[in-house]
Amino acid sequence: MKYVYPAVFTPLSSGEYNVRIPDLPGCITCRKDLADAIEMAEDAAAMWLCDAEDNQESISAPSEKLNVAHPQFVNFVIADTDKYRQENDNRAVKKTLTIPNWLNSKAEKAGVNFSQTLQAALKQQLGID
């Protein structure tokens, strides 16, 4: 799922940026430059939102407008929870499945990697690259 939230960027005298996403309580990060701060804000938001999705918690709508004082500024960040999971949650999960014996025999003789084949088939079925 893709989300877009406004984030408040606070430049620090060290050249770093503190970033917080007010609509996602506790979603705060900091980086050394603006490009890294934007990237980390997107990562932090995706992590926060994945956790909320996994725990079936309510997710607030993004604020329409945020008022900040100079030198703070607001920038939108994109959080793609599907992409985040693909990049960060590659834990192996054991699945039990049933196939006809004749198919199992042919596949074993051909040296088919069942896990790899199932993953490829699932990605194709779900339209995942």
pLDDT bracket for residue 82 (50, 70, 90): very high
pTM of the model: 0.76
At 28-42, the pLDDT tens digits run: 999 999 999 999 999
**Residue 129's pLDDT is what?**
77
pLDDT bracket for residue 12 (50, 70, 90): very high
pLDDT at residue 80 greater than cutoff 80: yes
pLDDT bracket for residue 91 (50, 70, 90): confident
What are the φ/ψ torsions at residue 66 (nearest 5 degrees)? -120, 135
Residue given tokens 């834990």 in the structure block: 91
DSSP 64: S
Structural domains of the chain, ranges and CATH numbers in brackets: 2-88 (3.30.160.250), 92-129 (no CATH)
